[in-house]
Amino acid sequence: MDSIRLSLLEAEIKAQLDKIEQVFALLEARTTNFQPDNPGSIESVAYQLHNVYNAVEYLMEIVAKAFENNVTDLSRWHTQLLDRMSLEISGVRPALLAKETNTLLHELRAFRHFFRHAYGIPLDFIRVEQNLHKARQVRSLVARDTALFLKALQIDKS
């Protein structure tokens, strides 16, 4: 990959990391009144968890488009994209995500799928709380993994 494309990739990744941080800030703001007896707060936190996964997934899309961009099974593309990001592709790119990050993101992806399709089903406080804990872990892991990814590409200039 030439230096112009690498610089563009770095800029896009850093811009998306800023957006991810904005979503995490909203998530934390929504936890102020997060209580089992407050359905509005449960729904608000769940919505922001949904947004966290979407923001991280878009980061993965940026990387996939810059390198391999070849997810063929559209029925499983969310899963395939996530799994590919924890693979090092020899001669193409390093892994974006560590296995630990991949595992937690799969759990958040499953929650996001549930949230999108749970019409009329009350959200369970404990399930949302468990996913909130996972998202908080993901926050630092994605930052760490992305920094290592950029360093491996030798474009981390900070």
Amino acid code (one letter) for 53: Y
Rounded CA-CA distance 90/125 in Å is 43
Supply the pTM of this predicted model. Answer: 0.91
Cα angle at 107 between 103 and 112, to 5 degrees? 140
H helix or E strand, kind and range, residue 141: helix 125-152
Contact 63, 146 (CB under 8 A): no
Contact 103, 129 (CB under 8 A): no
Contact 19, 54 (CB under 8 A): no
Quickly count: other Cβ atoms within 10 Å of residue 71's Cβ. 16
Into how many domains does the chain fold? 1
Residue 157 resides in a domain:
no
Cα angle at 133 between 129 and 139, to 5 degrees? 135
Residue 136 resides in a domain:
yes
Residue 94 resides in a domain:
yes
- Model pLDDT for residues 110-152, shown as the tens digit of each residue: 999 999 888 788 899 999 999 999 999 999 999 999 999 999 9
The pLDDT assigned to 55 comes to 98
Residue 16 resides in a domain:
yes
- Model pLDDT for residues 75-88, shown as the tens digit of each residue: 677 899 999 999 99
Residue 144 resides in a domain:
yes
Determine phi and psi for 89, rounding to 5 degrees.
-105, 105
Cα angle at 65 between 108 and 52, to 5 degrees? 25
Residue 158 resides in a domain:
no
